[in-house]
Amino acid sequence: MIRIRLTAAAFAASVFAVPAFAAEPDGLTLPPGFHAQVVAEGLGPIRHLALRGNDIYVSTKHGRDQPSAGIVALRLGPDHKPVATEHFGVGTADQGTGIRIYKGALYAASGTGVYRFTLDDALVPAAAPELVVDGLAATNHPLAFDGKGNIYVGIDGGGGASNCPDPATPKDAKPKGLKPCPLLETKGGIWRFSDSKPAQTLADGEHFATGIRNMSAMDWRGGDALYGAWHGRDATAKTWPELLTPADDDAIADEMFRITRGTDMGWPYTYWDGVRKTRLLAPDYGGDGKMVVESGKYATPVAAFAPLRPAVLDMAFYTGSQFPRAWRGGAFLAMHGGGADGAILPGGHAGYDVMFVPFAGNKAGTPVEFADGFAGPDAAARNVKTAAYRPVGVAVGPDGALYVADSNKGKIWRISYGE
């Protein structure tokens, strides 16, 4: 991915009178006129977040680092610092990805379903949660609402895997993919359910879109459509060194799509080459690293992030009015950062920042960098073993500020303009 640093004057058509600020906390770098403030820290391995007034609800994920996951609830005072911190939802909302405020309720994903917590003036809901959707494959479940009575639930296909392997393939042979891929019957796609009907199962939902590998970032863009971004396949050159070079592997992009009914995003049969800007057939299905897929068969991403996949983890469309017009209407994306293999690259791995995809009408523009410096002052710090912080969640507050969550130390920043 080509890293682009734009000043507000170069990005926006208007000229803004911007105040001067001292150095940003944690060495963050922002466009002129923006300022970051630390809201909370030490919250542990947090993931996504949702806001209601002065309350922040943060998801955590059950796992080795978090044996008793749930939701962290923060009530902020006038200085945007917590005056109360509570925990709830242990054993139910423990998936770590999908969490949304909608029509006065908090929706949160578990490993296999979606729960709704009724909220009142208290920070923590008093009533037991209601199970809205149950029986899903145990994987990531990003959530989005269209405001028309529907909730969209993502279900990963491969998760940590890149393909849909044929179990009959000999162990010492190259992977061979199944087609049709049976995983796509219950995974690897987006299902649409009623946002109010309780105890729904997969059979009650509409199989809205298909062909995703590993997606945590999803949001509804008002007046437009559903959008999602997901991780491209990994280690393809390692498995197929006779077909792909390491540079070819680096060119495999994380993809962002405009998603409508019937959209097929191409997994596991294909992948998007972000350098050539074309869709190629995966080696598991007879591809050779150059074979282009028939045009129109699969969706084309509205934005692609390559080379060096940045690991897009969350997405929030900016619906506020605090930011200058150049930063409105588009999507902010939390880039968790690449380099899971531990390799130290002189220029660092991609990600470890917050990107912005601008929109003109319903057309996405070229991604630009919004916030950087999370990993550390040196480019080489952009690595999972050395990064100080890794953006994992983004959300727009009621006042138009952008909140960014970190998964390393459980820190949350509030980014505002002109304050």
What pLDDT sits at residue 313? 96
Q: Give CB contacts under 8 A, 24+ apart, made by 164-168.
A: 164/268, 164/284, 165/284
Cβ atoms within 10 Å of 312's Cβ, excluding its own = 27
- Do residues 416 and 396 touch, judged by C-beta distance below 8 A? no
Q: Name the 3-class secondary structure at 123.
A: coil
pLDDT for residue 215 is more than 70? yes
pLDDT for residue 165 is more than 90? no
Q: Name the 3-class secondary structure at 248.
A: helix
In 156-310, at which residue ranges do the beta strands (DSSP E only) sit? 189-194, 206-210, 214-220, 226-231, 254-259, 270-273, 278-281, 303-305
CATH architecture of 8-417: 6 Propeller (2.120)
Q: Which of 101-110, 156-165, 298-307 has the lowest mean pLDDT?
A: 156-165
pLDDT for residue 232 is more than 70? yes
Extract the tokens encoding 139.
């994987």
Q: Which of 28-32, 44-48, 392-396 has the lowest mean pLDDT?
A: 44-48
What pLDDT sits at residue 12? 42
Q: No. of H helices and E strands in the chain?
A: 3, 28
Query: How does DSSP assign 378-394, residue by residue?
Result: SGGG-STTT-S--EEEE
What pLDDT sits at residue 19? 44
Residue keyed to tokens 């060194």: 241
pLDDT digits (tens, 9 = 90+) for 10-38: 444 433 334 444 589 999 999 999 999 99
What pLDDT sits at residue 10? 42
pLDDT for residue 9 is more than 80? no
Q: What is the mean pLDDT of residues 86-108?
A: 89
What are the residues whose beta carbons fall under 8 Å from the beta carbon of 398, sequence distance 6 or more?
51, 52, 53
> Within a 13 Å sphere around the CA of 153, how many CA atoms are in the beta-carbon half?
36
pLDDT digits (tens, 9 = 90+) for 322-337: 999 999 999 999 999 9
Q: How many whole angstroms separate alpha carbon 324 and alpha carbon 196?
A: 36
Q: What is the mean pLDDT of residues 275-293?
A: 96
- Do residues 323 and 417 touch, judged by C-beta distance below 8 A? yes
Looking at per-residue pLDDT, the higher value among 16 and 230 belongs to 230
